[in-house]
């Protein structure tokens, strides 16, 4: 677990504007972890996930709940760590260079309201330490979202 990352994150989550906080959070992830080609957020909007603040290559703008790693994260309300996205049924290739993905739900009152999504061109890029750190980040984001009454 990366405690320095979490300390820096908490500083960004003091921001009253959700977009600004999530934008800086995606930049922090991208600067902290190497071998990523995408780090950012998908936000729940109606019946789909919609692109939020991110760092990296262009991305899918809309993801249905029944598609891809992000859709599985939303449906199951649990972290999805995929070592080889080419073997994941229904994987959405927003970037054909991506080979592994980590998607972590941000949950408030039992509902997934957003997701942290990381992609890497390297197979099996995401280990237990990154996974644990992103899960703690998701909890901190959910707490900030509630405390600051963020609306996006």
Q: By three-state DSSP, how is residue 77 classified?
A: coil
Residue 89 is predicted with a pLDDT of 75
Residue 63 to residue 47: CA distance in whole angstroms: 9
Mean pLDDT across the chain: 94
Contact 138, 131 (CB under 8 A): no
Q: Which residues contact 82 (CB under 8 A, 6 or more apart)?
A: 69, 88, 91, 100, 101, 102
Strand partners, 51: 42
Domain borders along the chain are 3-147
Q: What is the pLDDT of residues 38-67, one digit of tens each?
A: 999 999 999 999 999 999 988 989 999 999
Confidence of residue 93 (pLDDT cuts 50, 70, 90): low
Alpha carbon of 6 to those of 11, 19, 67: distances in Å?
9, 18, 30
Two structure tokens written together for 144: 């900030």
More confident residue, 139 or 89: 139
- pLDDT average, residue stretch 77-98: 84
pLDDT mean over 120-146: 97
Q: Which CATH superfamily is domain 3-147 in?
A: GAF domain (3.30.450.40)
3-class secondary-structure state, position 7 = helix
Name 19's Cβ contacts closer than 8 Å, sequence gap at least 6. Answer: 52, 53, 152
Q: Is the pTM of this model over 0.85?
A: yes
Asked if residue 100 lies in contact with residue 122, where contact means CB atoms within 8 angstroms, the answer is: yes
The phi and psi torsions of 49 (rounded to 5 degrees) equal -100, 135
C-alpha radius of gyration, the chain, whole number: 14
């Amino acid at each position: 677990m990366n405690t320095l990352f979490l300390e820096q994150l908490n500083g960004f989550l003091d921001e009253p504007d959700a977009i600004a906080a999530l934008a800086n959070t995606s930049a922090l992830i991208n600067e902290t972890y190497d071998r990523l080609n995408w780090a950012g957020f998908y936000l729940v909007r109606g019946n789909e996930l919609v692109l939020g603040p991110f760092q990296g290559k262009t991305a899918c703008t809309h993801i249905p709940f029944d598609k891809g790693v992000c859709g599985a994260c939303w449906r199951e309300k649990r972290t999805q760590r995929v070592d080889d996205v080419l073997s994941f049924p229904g994987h959405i290739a927003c970037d054909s260079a991506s080979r592994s993905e980590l998607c972590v739900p941000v949950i408030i009152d039992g509902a997934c309201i957003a997701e942290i999504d990381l992609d890497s061109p390297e197979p099996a890029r995401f280990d237990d330490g990154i996974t644990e750190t992103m899960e703690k980040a998701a909890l901190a984001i959910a707490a900030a979202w509630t405390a600051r009454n963020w609306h996006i």
